[in-house]
Amino acid sequence: MTDTTPLFQIKDLHVRVEGKKILNGVTLTVKPGEIHAVMGPNGSGKSTLAYTAMGHPRYVVESGEVLLRGENILSLKPHERAIRGLFLAFQYPVAVPGVSVANFLRTAMKAVRKQDIAVKEFRKELKEKMAWLDMASSFASRYLNDGFSGGEKKRLEILQMALLSPSMAILDETDSGLDIDALRIVSDGINRVASPERGMLVITHYQRLLNYVKPHVIHVLAGGRIVRTGGPELALLLESKGYEGIEQEAAQGASA
């Protein structure tokens, strides 16, 4: 990647899911060190954007590109995208009974780093990152998301991100289902992982997460396309006008 090559780009992306058109030409660019927020009403295509970027086979790309450090990654399998440095925190993490959190995390780290990790080194790093998220040491021996509360599942997603250290992270409604205390802890973990080299795309329905994680750019997604882009003040405008008001303004601007 040259100094002028963006870290992450989505170019004119059109996507269908089970025959239904969901994304209708989404374009955005994330530079190193930037946090972008994608906001929008239910059904606007936010999760489709996340899953398409990560390579979920259910989402069929009709046209467009997803570029990581200038490379179009649409032909790559999800694990190949992860090795390239892309990470997705799921809105609804899946439980895997029988697989401990520690074993899962160490296996994932070995796959992404393409080398073995000494047990002592792994335990030290795991303990440090778990402290960021106010996790008890016993958490590591539990089965992956099995019987976890909503807050525990989201903390585990951020723990994975902290340990895998991706160059580009997509967080799909990480704030959903969190009470105020869990939201604060998860947000603090996100802010700790943020760095001048890393990009983040934070997908959220509500403005409350952005009280803790401050985005540089906000995009409003509606009807499968970005209808408005702005700075942090756009979140406050959404609070006052709602998504419908922003969509109406965009439609009026397009017809003028």
Tens of pLDDT, residues 195-234: 999 999 999 988 889 999 999 999 999 999 999 999 998 9
DSSP string, 118-168: -HHHHHHHHHHHHHHTT--GGGGGSEETTT--HHHHHHHHHHHHHHH--SE
Structural domain contains residue 149: no
Structural domain contains residue 45: yes
Mean pLDDT score of the chain: 93
Residue 13: which CATH number? Answer: 3.40.50.300
The pLDDT assigned to 115 comes to 92
Structural domain contains residue 125: no
Answer yes or no: pTM beyond 0.95: no
Structural domain contains residue 119: no
- Band the pLDDT of 252: cuts 50, 70, 90: low
Structural domain contains residue 242: yes
In the chain, the number of structural domains is 1
What backbone torsions phi and psi does residue 212 show, to the nearest 5 degrees?
-110, -40
Structural domain contains residue 214: yes
The pLDDT assigned to 256 comes to 52
The pLDDT assigned to 231 comes to 94
Structural domain contains residue 153: no
Structural domain contains residue 115: no
Residue 68's domain spans which residues? 8-93+166-255
